[in-house]
């Protein structure tokens, strides 16, 4: 599960990118990917039009999306929860301390290796208040970490 604030920009973009990469890796039928937000302010809203536009421009299929807020039970059910920012990770850990929460960018080989105190260095900034280029930046960050996520998932499946 990918998680951002309102579940209309970063986390649904990450969901689309990961789904695409899992399909290409032959894991599309084995691994489920979804997304949520830590807030209910966008509940039921579609993906931001700029996020959808950037995805489509880069060849991704952007399916229908309806924003939803993360629940404690979802955190219990997921094998991996990917937070977009350290603030999201902190809120998720308060909701379910034992959930398998990681920063999405921790899978980017070019990102710095940091401890929990410095997780903010791995934040994927919210493009909501920015322009189209900010959404392009988010997509580049998501793509940079996607192969690392897939490798992690493949290794986890091999242990099962």
Active site residues: 4, 10, 126
Sign of the CA dihedral with 129 first, then 132, 134, and 140 last: positive
111: left (phi over 0), alpha (psi -120 to 50) or beta: beta
Q: How far apart are CA 33 and CA 81, in angstroms?
A: 10
H or E element at residue 36? strand 35-37
């Amino acid at each position: 599960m990918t998680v951002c604030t309102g579940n209309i920009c970063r986390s649904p973009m990450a969901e689309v990118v990961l789904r695409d990469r899992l399909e290409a890796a032959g894991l599309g039928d084995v691994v489920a990917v979804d997304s949520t937000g830590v807030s209910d302010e966008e509940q039921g809203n579609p993906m931001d039009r700029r996020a959808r536009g950037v995805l489509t421009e880069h060849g991704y299929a952007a399916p229908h999306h309806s924003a939803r807020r993360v629940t404690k039970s979802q955190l219990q059910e997921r094998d991996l929860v990917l937070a977009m920012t350290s603030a999201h990770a902190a809120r998720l850990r308060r909701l379910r301390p034992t959930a398998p929460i990681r920063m999405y960018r921790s899978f980017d080989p070019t990102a710095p290796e940091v401890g929990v105190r410095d997780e903010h260095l791995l934040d994927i900034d919210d493009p909501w208040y920015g322009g189209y280029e900010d959404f392009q930046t988010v997509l580049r960050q998501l793509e940079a970490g996607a192969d690392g996520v897939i490798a992690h998932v493949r290794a986890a499946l091999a242990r099962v």
